[in-house]
Amino acid sequence: MRATTIHGTRDIRVEEVPDPTLRRPTDAIVKITAGCVCGSDLWPYRGENPIREGATIGHECIGVVEEVGAEVRDVRVGDFVVVPFCHCDNTCAHCRNGAQSVCSNLGFTLSGQAEYARVTQADGTLVTTGGVPDDDLVPSLLALSDVMPTGWHAAVSAGVKEGDTVVVVGDGAVGLCGVLAASVLGAERIVALSRHEPRQAVARAFGATHVIAARGEAAVAEVRELTDGVGVDATLECVGTDEAMTTAIAVTRPGGGVGFVGAPHGVELSARSLFDKNVGVRGGMAPVRRYLPELLPMVLDRRIDPGRVFDLTLPLEQSPEGYRAMDERRAIKVLLQP
Amino acid sequence: MRATTIHGTRDIRVEEVPDPTLRRPTDAIVKITAGCVCGSDLWPYRGENPIREGATIGHECIGVVEEVGAEVRDVRVGDFVVVPFCHCDNTCAHCRNGAQSVCSNLGFTLSGQAEYARVTQADGTLVTTGGVPDDDLVPSLLALSDVMPTGWHAAVSAGVKEGDTVVVVGDGAVGLCGVLAASVLGAERIVALSRHEPRQAVARAFGATHVIAARGEAAVAEVRELTDGVGVDATLECVGTDEAMTTAIAVTRPGGGVGFVGAPHGVELSARSLFDKNVGVRGGMAPVRRYLPELLPMVLDRRIDPGRVFDLTLPLEQSPEGYRAMDERRAIKVLLQP
């Protein structure tokens, strides 16, 4: 099959690789109709995460079930499915506790920017859309494989509730979906930190009531002013850097919560700084499967349109350009069509 | 008045010092009927926190209102009151958000092991018991000034709910009150980490269903076994050291919560370790005033008896012996009678 592969820093190619095959009776193979590039793909692209040369890359996709293993019961060949980037059996103790991203049988999509992907624990992982979706729904359904549930997880982890004032740190696709999540969860004021006009526009479309272009201490000062010095009830940290986390804790009011979903790169938290403000911190990889029963109907009923984060669509063969566009922040998020 | 003072490492004295006086119209003076020694008093006692030589010490007490400032409206001379160790106006934005320990007008009891104490923001801070309490209620009412609300805050911050399995790290008076709090909040299994028999006995009386005498990795292994490798829903960290926090995070199941109330001494949290398990961390100084409307009736109705943590009662003049007994772990918590 044709697949996007990574060979080194800023060296992305589209090549012929072997088709994925069923390895376990609980696997399925999905023929991908749409995949995309994730902000987290930029870490290895920029040489900040180790890679295996020539490995396929990409973990977000939707498509049609092509083949299922002997023990797959609920998912059938021909089903149109959302593929959560983290695969889970949805039956183990962790899954029953709502921590599907720490499933005892955790797996990942490894060739989401390609023609086919293997999905482990197919019955637990895959969620059918009930038929081939209308074309206009494709981006939003694709967003359900990672970026929207991740923004949602940030909001849930931060404890966003009706009437809250919320800050979202990070104007990548996850942060923007965090704005949307906070809005759906009833936040009254949503402050997006963003200095990029196209992202500000999406943030406002998703429900941001305020946009602050400043960063770091200047951003903290603006939020303080906006909240009469109190700080906000809940903050979504959607970057994963030390500066972003420091900002997130600083803008949160005493007793408030920070939800963090950006994979932390060298972030240390001082227990004392949390203690002094009684600020809670919670986050991690999103348990995508947990949220889909709630999010999928919202997309199918066109109540939310997280697919707006895709502002560039390319044929799979142009994956390298997709990476470049995101790396250079020319695109928020790139959809790839096999 | 007679008051306990600190002069250096392990140098506690009882001396004559000036009576506290009203400084602001919102102050009150309380004549102390019972005070006590807190585990946190042992930090300066052991030379691990800086001190001002000759300063009064002690922040937990109950007593009778002796004098009130001109602006005090709700509290009257002669009222028997519980004195939260952290004083608050109970009207500012932080207090209204339930973060009374970060009140904009925060104050502290500074002479709780003495004959009198000044209480700032008297109307916001003090809670009357409705008459002079029966003698047998004195220890439990005294426990409401800090130790019980602090254990309660650990349980609330950890997110303890009906049916949960809970671990309590720390068998000091706060940890034991944490056991009691978890029990009241409906936890089904409560595991106390304790190697001291008298403390184990109190833990069991407060609702612990399991006691583990091991520490560190051995304790983690025992909790894992007890929970079929899953970990517990909520953990109360009631010590404040790095080892205790590491243990707390390690025994918590993916998606669970850690509530921490021991003042952290040099504790750093790796955001990555929280991220990988999706474990939430929340804690800080307890907003005592917030919890008293809930806890005071439980004490007055004899539904809870947190006063059981006091296993040694001494006259105020013997404060130094009280500190020694707690330092050497001969006593769990010492009640002082002026």
pLDDT in tens, B62-89: 999 999 999 999 999 999 999 999 999 9
Closest Cα in chain A, distance from residue B201 (Å) = 30
Q: How far is CA A207 from CA A200, A225, A262, A297, B286, in A?
A: 11, 21, 21, 19, 35
Q: Is the model's pLDDT at B264 over the cut of 90?
A: no
Q: Which of B256, B260, B270 sits opposite A268 (nearest CB)?
A: B270
Closest Cα in chain A, distance from residue B326 (Å) = 25
The torsion of the CA quartet A17, A18, A23, A25, rounded to 10 degrees, works out to 110
Q: What is the mean pLDDT of residues A277-285?
A: 97
Residue A310 has a pLDDT of 98
Which of B239, B282, B285, B289 to mutate to probe the A interface, most A CBs <10 Å?
B282
Q: Is the model's pLDDT at A263 over the cut of 90?
A: no
Closest Cα in chain A, distance from residue B301 (Å) = 30
φ, ψ dihedrals at A159, nearest 5°: 80, 30
Q: What is the mean pLDDT of residues A296-324?
A: 98
Complex ipTM, two decimals?
Answer: 0.94
pLDDT, tens digit, for every residue of B92-129? 999 999 999 999 999 999 999 999 999 999 999 999 99
Supply the DSSP symbol for A132: P
Q: Which of B280, B281, B284 sits opposite A276 (nearest CB)?
A: B284
Percent of residues, chain B, with pLDDT higher than 90: 95
A283–B94 C-beta distance less than 8 A: no
Listing from the earlier edge strand, what are the strands of the sheet with A11-16?
A: A11-16, A2-8, A55-56
Q: How confident is the model at residue A267 (pLDDT cuts 50, 70, 90)?
A: confident
Written as one string, the DSSP assignment of A224-246 is: HHHTTTS-EEEEEE-S-SHHHHH
The rounded mean pLDDT for chain A is 97
- Give yes or no for A162 touching B (CB within 8 A): no
Closest Cα in chain B, distance from residue A230 (Å) = 7
B255–A271 C-beta distance less than 8 A: no
Closest Cα in chain B, distance from residue A282 (Å) = 4
* Beta bridge pairs of residue B93: none
Tokens of B47: 């030379």
B280–A157 C-beta distance less than 8 A: yes
Cα–chain center distance at B40: 9
Tokens of B243: 């080892």
Per the listing, tokens 């697919």 go with: A307
**Sign of the CA dihedral A188, A194, A197, A203?**
negative
* Beta bridge pairs of residue A257: A234, A280
pLDDT, tens digit, for every residue of B309-321? 999 999 999 999 9
Q: Which of B233, B279, B284 sits opposite A274 (nearest CB)?
A: B284
Q: How far is CA B13 from CA A225, B3, B53, B55, B320, in A?
A: 47, 8, 11, 10, 6
Cα–chain center distance at B183: 17
Instruction: Report the C-alpha gap between B285 and B101 in whole angstroms.
Output: 6
Q: What is the mean pLDDT of residues A214-221?
A: 95
Which of A102, A253, A278 to mutate to probe the B interface, most B CBs <10 Å?
A278
Q: Is the model's pLDDT at B30 over the cut of 90?
A: yes
Q: Are A275 and B237 in contact (CB under 8 A)?
A: no
Q: What is the mean pLDDT of residues B276-286?
A: 96
**Sign of the CA dihedral A42, A48, A52, A53?**
positive
- Give yes or no for B101 touching A (CB within 8 A): yes
Q: Greatest CA span in chain A, whole angstroms?
A: 61
Strands A232-237 and A165-169, how do they pair?
parallel
Q: Are A253 and A224 in contact (CB under 8 A)?
A: no
Q: Could you tell me the domains of chain B?
A: 2-146+287-337 (3.90.180.10), 150-283 (3.40.50.720)
Residue A316 has a pLDDT of 98
Written as one string, the DSSP assignment of A169-211 is: E--SHHHHHHHHHHHHTT-SEEEEE---HHHHHHHHHHT-SEE
Q: How confident is the model at residue A270 (pLDDT cuts 50, 70, 90)?
A: confident
**Sign of the CA dihedral A193, A198, A199, A204?**
positive
**Sign of the CA dihedral A76, A77, A83, A85?**
positive
Supply the DSSP symbol for A134: P
Residue A328: CA count within 13 A, CB half-sphere: 8
Work out the number of other CB atoms within 10 angstroms of the CB of residue B211: 18
Q: Is the model's pLDDT at B265 over the cut of 90?
A: no
B157–A257 C-beta distance less than 8 A: no
Q: Are B260 and B157 in contact (CB under 8 A)?
A: yes
Residue A264: CA count within 13 A, CB half-sphere: 25
φ, ψ dihedrals at A33, nearest 5°: -100, -25
Residue B270 has a pLDDT of 86
Instruction: Report the C-alpha gap between B3 and B22 in whole angstroms.
Output: 18
- Give yes or no for A98 touching B (CB within 8 A): yes
Q: Which of B278, B284, B287 sits opposite A102 (nearest CB)?
A: B278
- Give yes or no for A163 touching B (CB within 8 A): no
Q: Which of A84, A39, A64 is nearest to A296 (CA)?
A: A84
Instruction: Report the C-alpha gap between A15 and A136 in whole angstroms.
Output: 29
Which of B100, B239, B278, B288 to mutate to probe the A interface, most A CBs <10 Å?
B278
What element of type H or E holds A14? Answer: strand A11-16
pLDDT, tens digit, for every residue of B183-202? 999 999 999 999 999 999 99
Residue B233 has a pLDDT of 98
Q: What is the mean pLDDT of residues A280-293?
A: 98
Q: Is the model's pLDDT at B295 over the cut of 90?
A: yes
Q: Are B287 and B90 in contact (CB under 8 A)?
A: no
A282–B257 C-beta distance less than 8 A: yes
Tokens of A248: 């997130």
Q: How confident is the model at residue B181 (pLDDT cuts 50, 70, 90)?
A: very high
The residue with greater pLDDT, A139 or B266, is A139
Spell out a b/e string for B159-177, using b for 16 or more CB atoms within 10 Å of the CB, else e: bbeeebbbbbbbbbbbbbb
Instruction: Report the C-alpha gap between B264 and A143 in whole angstroms.
Output: 40
Per the listing, tokens 């996007």 go with: A4
Q: Which of A102, A263, A278 sits opposite B254 (nearest CB)?
A: A102
Judging contacts by C-beta atoms under 8 Å, the chain A residues touching residue B280 are 157, 280-282
Q: Which of A36, A114, A124, A27 is nearest to A77 (CA)?
A: A27
